[in-house]
Structure 1
Amino acid sequence: MTEIDDIIEQIEITRRRGYAINKEELFLGDMSIAAPIIGSQGLPVAAVHVVVPSSRWTMEEAERKLVPAVIECARAIRSSIRTL
């Protein structure tokens, strides 16, 4: 993805759904799912991500099986940081 309008559209989609996906954008054969860790100011301060091989997963399967765990992990980290 190299067009500014396409990138902005993907940012908006990611913001709405609450997680990001990447299908071989950086490395051939890798797909990533990531969720933000939101700080006390309501802004992202870090992220949790998982990488799976595209030879063994479809993006639909990865989203269905991994998104809930990645989001839960990001929220748990956020909660643990607030209790420190």
Structure 2
Amino acid sequence: MNSRRADRPLPEEPYSLSLEAHGVTRATYSPPLPVRVFVQLPTRQVRLDAVAVQASDDAVLVQWGRGPTERQCWVWRAAVKHRR
């Protein structure tokens, strides 16, 4: 089945660092790098598998999910660990 249940809510939107906080992008990863990351959601903090898409000196842009559930946010570099 490829259809999504209509009564299932979409995942919460994560908090993301502002441009002033994360600064200028220094690297773009192609292909994206697999990582484990702590993400702040409105109701909780979660650790999840994601990919690193871009990075600045102090922060990383991470992405997870697919289609309508895909999410991304900038997090502090210390919140990200490489996945093996």
Report the TM-score when normalising by structure 2.
0.25
Kindly indicate whether structure 1 or structure 2 has the higher relative contact order, using CA contacts under 8 Å at least 6 residues apart: 2
The structure that is strand-richer by fraction is 2
TM-score of the superposition, structure 1-length normalised?
Answer: 0.25
